[in-house]
A and B are shown apart, each in its own frame.
Chain A
């Protein structure tokens, strides 16, 4: 069961990563960075790491106990 899942996931991954090489885009790239192969996968990686670290970092800085605001006041 576990092996099947892994095989499926890696197949999907290979297909997705290979897609830009199989499908040749005829649309003209708007920016130079779109011509880098696998740019979007790379971007996804970098951005995910960035967002997760920013979010978890901010979380440490901004968090308060769950009932912090519930003191019965409007403000």
Chain B
């Protein structure tokens, strides 16, 4: 019976979002949220590979449910973590609007991964951008308001590039089914559009800017969907993408992934705000996925998608733990935190599990997928990429040692953490379930292999090859040792760091200045000229006969100025001071008739010239 279900999961969440406002703020709302989470989960897990819900609209076939192995695995993890995030937010979130935004966001992300054509994808893509904006703005702070504005500007830019790319692709091929795109300007625009969502370096700044300012539960949602939907679209349209630079093909996407992995960790190491540190790690981890997909081989794409799956688990878990810490202490900077291990033991254990997972420690889920991507890079002889990804994992471990040490284990006598309680039950349930899966997949990776896009290739990958295991252990053990030795150097401090966003802000301020100053002056000048023309026309039309006489007199006086005496000129000009008579109605009618005549002549000439 379950097999027969083929409802697009997006519907469940949209209906849920519509029903939420009717439920008040009490138990009924909680019951509905849990029901939506469970039904959504059941919907996603009962889907089978198929194409249905095809809606023809004005010549286009919009496909709302296109399920294959790639979209199914995304559907599983999206709906699973959606359920966890909903349960996490039950005790924290008060605003009904925030739940609506959360459900719309989660639903449209599922809509996007099950969309069968570019237009449906684009619509869900934009709903995601706007509903996630709500999750930032519900913090109701000035910083959140401004950060949200910057966030949406960035995403509108990306969305426009994406739409332009889609339209060009459609004009070239007449096909709107999602798939690889032909080279050309549309290709680049689509890559930029996807690049904004997947946080390609120079386009990543919205991410560490806005996520730390989102609401506690909002950040958990946001850490999951936007970037991973981007990775999914990348896997659909740009697997192994090459960009021609000076006529040479270049694995642009793969190396961009390597760059992101490194850039993210270096900036993460410098952060003080816990959620900003995590946000830079999203950039870094998405870099691994982008690298896997950019390599483009079966094992590369498998690795990238496996990393999406694992990353969603541990990154949502990290945001949940840090959300719990912020919820209980009200502090979000490492300098103000410390010694929470005894006060929040469950949160601490969950956070340590997530930190070990993201660092790729043997036995946790991050180890499986990260290893797969590095292995794929080695097989494709991309030595520099493999090295960059390895460097990245050292940096990841360093910054998570920093995060967990300074939040939970460092001794502190700060008042903020003096009498802190463990997180509320709903948070603990969500964190424990997610942490369980982080470990379970690490211990029994076949569970994940079974649902990967290329299942045969995945089953042949040996995550626990002795050489790889020993190498990883050495690398991480040495990193831990170096952290203990050098932790003074990367200890948190009360400063913020620039990123490329500094340039964007400068440029943005420049554009605003340009609009306000030179552009406005230009507009005012034109406005003035037009006003004067209009004024003089009004003056002239009051009494055209008298006005023309006045004009004639003034002009002739001016022209004759060199040849006449001063007295004569004054005398001449005196005549125009005479009060002007109004014309009779008859003259007015005559003028109108004359205009009509002129119009007739123009029409006749026009008709004669252009038959």
- Interface residues of chain A, those whose CB is within 8 Å of chain B, are 12-13, 16-17, 19-20, 23-27, 29-31, 34, 38-45, 47-56, 58-59, 62-66, 68-70, 72-75
Contacts and interface: CB of A to CB of B under 8 A. Distances in A.
Given A25-B466, A51-B395, A41 B497 contact: no
B490 interface: yes
B383 A31 contact: yes
B398 A48 contact: yes
Residue of B269, B470, B493, B512 with most chain A CB atoms under a 10 A cut-off: B470
B508 interface: yes
Given A48-B483, A58-B266, A66-B495, A27 B395 contact: no
A8 to B, nearest CB: 13
B270 interface: yes
Contact of B477 (A20, A41, A66, A68): A41
A35 to B, nearest CB: 10
Q: Top 5 closest A-B pairs, CB basis?
A: A25-B467, A44-B478, A48-B482, A55-B269, A63-B495
A54 B266 contact: yes
A52 B495 contact: no
A40 B398 CA distance: 16
Residue of B142, B483, B490, B494 with most chain A CB atoms under a 10 A cut-off: B490
B558 interface: no
Given A44-B475, A56-B489, 13 more contacts: A19-B473, A23-B467, A25-B465, A26-B466, A41-B475, A45-B478, A45-B482, A52-B489, A53-B489, A55-B270, A74-B146, A74-B508, A75-B512
A74 B606 CA distance: 55
Contacts of B512: 75
20 contacts: A19-B473, A20-B474, A23-B467, A25-B465, A31-B386, A43-B478, A44-B475, A44-B479, A50-B391, A51-B398, A52-B482, A52-B486, A58-B270, A59-B493, A62-B497, A63-B270, A64-B495, A66-B495, A73-B146, A75-B505
State the majority secondary structure of interface residues on A. Answer: helix
A3 to B, nearest CB: 17
Contacts of A49: 482, 486
Interface string B372-392: 000000110001001000110
Contacts of B395: 47, 51
B266 A20 contact: no
Contacts of A20: 467, 470-471, 474
Given A27-B465, A72-B142, A75-B512, A44 B496 contact: no
Contacts, number: 147
Nearest to B333: A66
Contact of B474 (A17, A30, A53, A72): A17
Contacts of A43: 390, 394, 475, 478
A48 B479 contact: yes
Contact of B467 (A27, A38, A65): A27
A51 B474 contact: no
Contacts of A29: 467
B146 A51 contact: no
Contacts of B477: 12-13, 16-17, 41, 44
A70 B490 contact: no
A44 B482 contact: yes
B467 A41 contact: no
A39 B497 contact: no
Interface residues of B, number: 51
B266 A69 contact: no
A47 B394 contact: yes
Residue of A44, A50, A68 with most chain B CB atoms under a 10 A cut-off: A44
B472 interface: yes
Nearest to A25: B467
Contacts of A39: 471
A27 B468 CA distance: 9
Contacts of A74: 146, 149-150, 508
A72 B482 contact: no
A9 B142 CA distance: 48
Residue of B265, B475, B509 with most chain A CB atoms under a 10 A cut-off: B475
B143 interface: yes
B486 A62 contact: no
Given A38-B474, A48-B398, A65 B495 contact: yes
A46 to B, nearest CB: 9
A49 B386 CA distance: 19
Contacts of A24: 466
Interface string B439-480: 000000000000000000000000001111111111111110
B481 interface: yes
B105 to A, nearest CB: 22
Contact of A69 (B394, B472, B474, B496): B496
A59 B482 contact: no
Given A47-B394, A58-B497, A30 B378 contact: yes
A70 to B, nearest CB: 6
Nearest to B491: A56
A12 B481 CA distance: 11
B471 A66 contact: no
A63 B496 contact: yes
Contacts of B272: 66
A64 B498 contact: yes
Contact of B394 (A34, A48, A63): A48
A13 B322 CA distance: 31
Interface in B242-278: 265-266, 269-270, 272
Contacts of B476: 44
